[in-house]
């Protein structure tokens, strides 16, 4: 039997394949030599000071100019509420009953599309403002073989709200932004695939990803497990066992937060999978047993669709936000997760994360301010 030490030793022997650092640096210098002056003034991400520093050795690449950003608009009635109208247990138990009587998923393929919007803080000093970085992930899986094709596309960036427009103009009306350490909001894992380099108002190309690193034939990941379509169909219709499965990747020490908040945030993705009616029903029963779940009644979600909302508020002692000086500050905050479901199909419509109490000293967040959303589409 092999040990972790064997892995460590084996990996270390690969150091012998290291290229010569001097040769690498020479090649980098050669390839980075300025060929022509970049139109840096057209690039929103390059302030005069920053370009001055970068141009001392290399010339920064300008991001392509894009159209002026649109503004994220909250549909009427989608503003969210801090408390909710009452306990959410009954709403969830009703959903469980509805789900149990729904017809099973049919069809050769299962398609889902998820649009996510993540608010990022850009600009500097008094001109700090929020932008929304939007991406769409699509997935098509064969229900017989489990073969999966995914597509990923950046949908371009919007201003967070109309009140961000003034700060955006002060910032030089950029159409692209450097996304990286300094723009992170409230999360240790706030990095995105696009994190390195600029994001702009221009949508990106839709690119195919044939299953990525998932095990072939097992496209559904729940907790630490990858499941085939058969395994998904054979899931136990038992709230306790489903809870255990979703928690199989949970680790409080690694910053996964309170168990209930974790379950509330990880269950919607499972509800969006083609699980049997009895399993969907059991998932709702499991959510009904979480402490502090509130009903918010009939609402409009961020995509403007009507549905039933349930929410869970969680207080955290330490919310991370990297300031413009790129150091993390850790302050208490309260976050509301809201799940909007279609009461007829019991499929999830959207998830939203809002600050009920933003971390102190962060004027760019308002109470109730949305900072992340996901829209599930068929």
200-229: contacts with other proteins (CB under 8 A): 207, 209, 212-213, 215, 221, 223-226
Fill in the per-residue mask, 340 to 359: x = in contact with other proteins (CB under 8 A), - = not in contact: -----------x-x------
Burial label, 227 (beta-carbon count in 10 A; 0-12, 13-18, 19+) = buried
The secondary structure element, H or E, covering residue 310 is strand 306-322
Q: Which among 124-132, 287-295, 297-305, 368-376 is the span making contact with other proteins, rule CB under 8 A?
A: 368-376
328-341 and 207-209: which strand pairing?
Answer: unpaired
Rounded to a whole number of angstroms, the minimum distance from the CB of residue 161 to other proteins is: 18
Part in contact with other proteins (CB under 8 A); list of ranges 63-71, 100-108, 165-173, 329-337: 329-337
* Region of 90-98, 189-197, 280-288, 296-304 interacting with other proteins (CB under 8 A): 189-197
Q: Binding residues for other proteins, how many (CB under 8 A)?
A: 96
From residue 47, give the alpha-carbon distance in Å to each of 40, 51, 261, 275. 9, 6, 40, 50
Q: Smallest gap, in angstroms, from Cβ of residue 132 to other proteins?
A: 12
- Is residue 48 involved in binding other proteins (CB under 8 A)? no
Minimum CB separation from other proteins for residue 65, in Å?
18
Instruction: Please state, in angstroms and rounded to a whole number, the distance separating the CA atoms of residues 229 and 252.
Output: 30
- How many other β-carbons are positioned within 10 Å of the β-carbon of residue 144? 10
User: Is 240 among the residues that bind other proteins (CB under 8 A)?
Assistant: no
Residue showing tokens 């509805």: 98
Q: What DSSP element (H or E) covers 134?
A: strand 129-142
Question: In the complex with other proteins, which residue's Cβ is closer, 268 or 276?
Answer: 268
Is residue 360 involved in binding other proteins (CB under 8 A)?
no
Give the binding range for other proteins (CB under 8 A) out of 98-106, 164-172, 300-308, 333-341: 333-341
Return the residue matching tokens 């690694």.
254
- Min dist CB 2 to other proteins, Å, is 5
> According to the binding rule CB under 8 A, does residue 60 interact with other proteins?
yes
CA dist., res. 127 & res. 324, Å (int): 11
**Closer CB to other proteins, 146 or 276, in the complex:** 146
How far is 348 from 341, CA to CA, in rounded Å?
Answer: 4
Of positions 245, 279, 290, 319, contacts other proteins by CB under 8 A: 319
Stretch 249-268 residues interacting with other proteins (CB under 8 A): 249-257, 261-262, 265
Examine residue 316 and tell whether it contacts other proteins (CB under 8 A).
Answer: yes
Is 196 among the residues that bind other proteins (CB under 8 A)? yes
The CA distance from 21 to 43, in Å, is: 33
Is 15 among the residues that bind other proteins (CB under 8 A)?
yes
Is residue 116 at the binding interface for other proteins, with CB under 8 A as the rule? yes
Quick check: 33 binds other proteins (CB under 8 A)? Answer: no
Distance CA 263, CA 337 (A): 11
| SS3 of residue 143 by DSSP | coil
Contact 175, 67 (CB under 8 A): yes
| Cβ pair 352, 370 in contact under 8 A | yes
């Amino acid at each position: 039997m092999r040990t972790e030490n064997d892995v460590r030793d084996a990996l270390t022997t690969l150091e012998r394949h290291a290229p010569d650092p001097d040769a690498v640096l020479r090649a980098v210098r050669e390839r980075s030599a300025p060929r022509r002056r970049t139109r840096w003034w057209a690039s929103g991400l390059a302030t005069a000071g920053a370009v001055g520093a970068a141009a001392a050795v290399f010339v920064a690449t300008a991001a392509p100019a894009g159209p002026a950003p649109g503004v994220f608009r909250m549909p009427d009635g989608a503003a969210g509420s801090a408390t909710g109208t009452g306990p959410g247990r009954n709403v969830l138990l009703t959903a469980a009953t509805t789900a149990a009587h729904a017809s099973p998923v049919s069809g050769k393929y299962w398609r889902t599309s998820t649009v996510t919007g993540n608010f990022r803080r850009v600009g500097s000093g008094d001109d700090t403002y929020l932008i929304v970085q939007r991406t769409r992930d699509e997935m098509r899986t064969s229900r017989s073989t489990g073969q999966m094709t995914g597509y990923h596309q950046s949908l371009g960036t919007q201003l967070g709200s109309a009140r961000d427009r003034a700060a955006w103009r002060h910032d030089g009306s950029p159409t692209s932004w450097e996304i990286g350490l300094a723009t992170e909001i409230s999360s240790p894992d706030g990095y995105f695939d696009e994190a390195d380099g600029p994001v702009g108002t221009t949508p990106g190309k839709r690119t195919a990803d044939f299953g990525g690193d998932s095990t072939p034939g097992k496209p559904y990941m729940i907790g630490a497990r990858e499941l085939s379509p058969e395994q998904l169909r054979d899931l136990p219709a038992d709230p306790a066992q489903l809870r255990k499965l979703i928690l199989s990747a949970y680790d409080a020490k690694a910053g996964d937060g309170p168990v209930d908040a974790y379950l509330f945030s990880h269950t919607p993705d499972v509800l969006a999978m083609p699980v049997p009616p009895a399993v969907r029903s059991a998932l709702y029963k499991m959510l009904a047993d979480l402490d502090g779940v509130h009903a918010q009644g009939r609402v409009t979600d961020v995509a403007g669709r009507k549905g039933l909302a349930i929410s869970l508020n969680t207080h955290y002692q330490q919310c991370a936000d990297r300031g413009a000086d790129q150091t993390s500050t850790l302050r208490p905050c309260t976050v509301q997760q809201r799940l909007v479901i279609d009461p007829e199909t019991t499929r999830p419509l959207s998830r939203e994360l809002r600050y009920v109490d933003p971390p102190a000293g962060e004027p760019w967040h308002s109470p109730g301010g949305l900072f992340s959303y996901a829209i599930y589409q068929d």
